Amino acid sequence: MAEAGYNTFLLRSEDVYIDLLTDSGTSAMSDRQWAGMMLGDEAYAGSRNFYHLEEAARNYYGYRYFVPTHQGRGAEHLLSQAVIKPGHYVPGNMYFTTTRLHQEMAGGTFVDVIIDEAHDPANLHPFKGNVDLDKLESLIKRVGANNIPYVSLAGTVNMAGGQPVSMANVRALRELCDRYGIRIYLDATRMVENVFFIQEREKGYADKSVAVILKEFCSFTDGAWMSAKKDHLVNIGGWLAVNDSDLFDTLRNMVVIYEGLHTYGGMAGRDMEALAIGIAESVNDAHVRSRVEQVRYLGDLLINWGIPIVQPVGGHAVFLDAKRIYSHLSQDQFPAQTLVAEIYLDSGVRSMERGIVSAGRDSETGDHRYPALELTRLAIPRRVYTQAHMDVVAEAVKAVYDARKQTRGLAMVYEPKYLRFFQARFEPIT
């Protein structure tokens, strides 16, 4: 830990026992996806794998036009540069690190319009990812609809603890945005998991398949970007899809500058084939259920032991409430980062911080942003670990929790300018 600056992003993977750093690019591909890797058409232009991919994305998400990118942030970059102008405001249901940075680098200001319940880890609202329409409307009235290029809507809101958006909320959001002529773009990265919660919790959806619900949800939005490394069960890949042909024209032109030709966007042909197959596998109802229920299995073990976590348990990860666990530490002693380090030291289980370090600094004042949520994330890769691994993780968290009163915080001794959580270094406070 000392060598890695108390930052689990700086560990070598060979020094990790159970790796819950992220569910991004860490899922296991199926036999069918691996077979697809053998069918790579590596032509520079017009690869047949691209057309399979385009068709799969269109089939399941329903948008008209498709642009491949190397991963999610490549798509965020293109969309932000294409539609945000300096002075614009971009409302969203809680920030995400790379998404907000791209919005800011294009000259926009992110404004959080998620419902208040999302900022309270103990609140049991079933759809804590919902947009607060009153907050959004008052922003529109304050800055004017012309200064809002789009609403940045995310499914299974990562920074809120993997919390879903309801169908009723996206439908109402569409109505509001139509009144003001504002577009809605969806971060569809974990939308399949969001759909599972709609199927489970929202009236009228229990008998509809994940695939059907997914398409209905997307129909209320104008386009989406995707980090395919999550829901889509591949190690690398992403895309962007929109309904507007002029915007598509711009994006398809920009992709050749930053990603690669518009028929590969930074991916190899074989990767596009595995991704096309992964999209179809990702909406399999039994798969989504077992994935989300494995996360819930771990969450329930911790709840039963009285360990504070974000509830309801989210779709892709269990989030430990470091503020409550280390209530004796101030937020600038990095309680969630401290918890990450302690769990690794106990058992070799790797997690990551989603609190003050991830939130970064306010671009105007230069001070830390102090998010209400100070969380340690245990993200579970898909189709990789067994329930027995979850038992080991739960016991590690319990051991660290039991020793919480003796734990001291950390000081940041190296801070990179952008997305500091990836590379920052810390030392224990003595």
Comparison of 238 and 265: residue with beta carbon closer to ligand PLP:
238
What are the two backbone dihedrals, phi and then psi, of residue 399, each rounded to the nearest 5 degrees? -60, -40
Q: How far is CA 371 from CA 120, 139, 356, 411, in A?
A: 11, 20, 6, 18
Please choose, out of 34-42, 70-78, 269-277, 292-300, the segment that lies near ligand PLP by the rule CB under 6 A. Answer: 70-78
Q: Which stretch binds ligand PLP (CB under 6 A): 91-99, 252-260, 334-342, 397-405?
A: 91-99
Looking only at the bridges linking them, the beta strands covering 410-414 and 425-428 are antiparallel
Residue 64 designated active-site: no
* Strands (DSSP E) found in 95-189: 109-112, 150-154, 183-187
Residue 377 is a binding residue for ligand PLP (CB under 6 A):
no
Tell me how far, at minimum, the Cβ of 139 lies from ligand PLP, in Å.
21
Is residue 187 among the annotated active site residues? yes
Two structure tokens written together for 384? 């990789």
Q: Within a 13 Å sphere around the CA of 52, how many CA atoms are in the beta-carbon half?
A: 21
Which residues inside 189-218 make contact with ligand PLP, applying CB under 6 A? 189
Total residue length of the chain: 430
Q: Mask: binding to ligand PLP, 4-43, rule CB under 6 A, as x and -? A: --------------------x-------------------
Catalytic: 110?
no
The residue within the footprint of ligand PLP, chosen from 27, 158, 199, 221 (CB under 6 A), is 158
Q: Catalytic: which of 19, 23, 187, 222?
A: 187
Determine whether 215 is exposed, middle or buried from the number of CB atoms within 10 Å of its CB (0-12, 13-18, 19+).
middle
Question: Under the criterion CB under 6 A, does residue 80 sit at the interface with ligand PLP?
Answer: no
Q: Is the dihedral of CA 214, 60, 94, 305 positive or negative?
A: positive
Task: Provide the mask over 164-193, with x wherever binding to ligand PLP is found by CB under 6 A and - wherever it is not.
Answer: -----------------------x-x----
- Does 284 engage in binding with ligand PLP (CB under 6 A)? no
Please state, in angstroms and as integers, the Cα–Cα distance from residue 268 to each residue in 70, 102, 237, 263, following that order. Answer: 9, 25, 9, 10
Active-site residues: which are they? Answer: 44, 96-97, 187, 230, 354, 421
Binding site for ligand PLP (CB under 6 A): 24, 71-73, 96, 98-99, 154, 158, 187, 189, 227, 229, 238
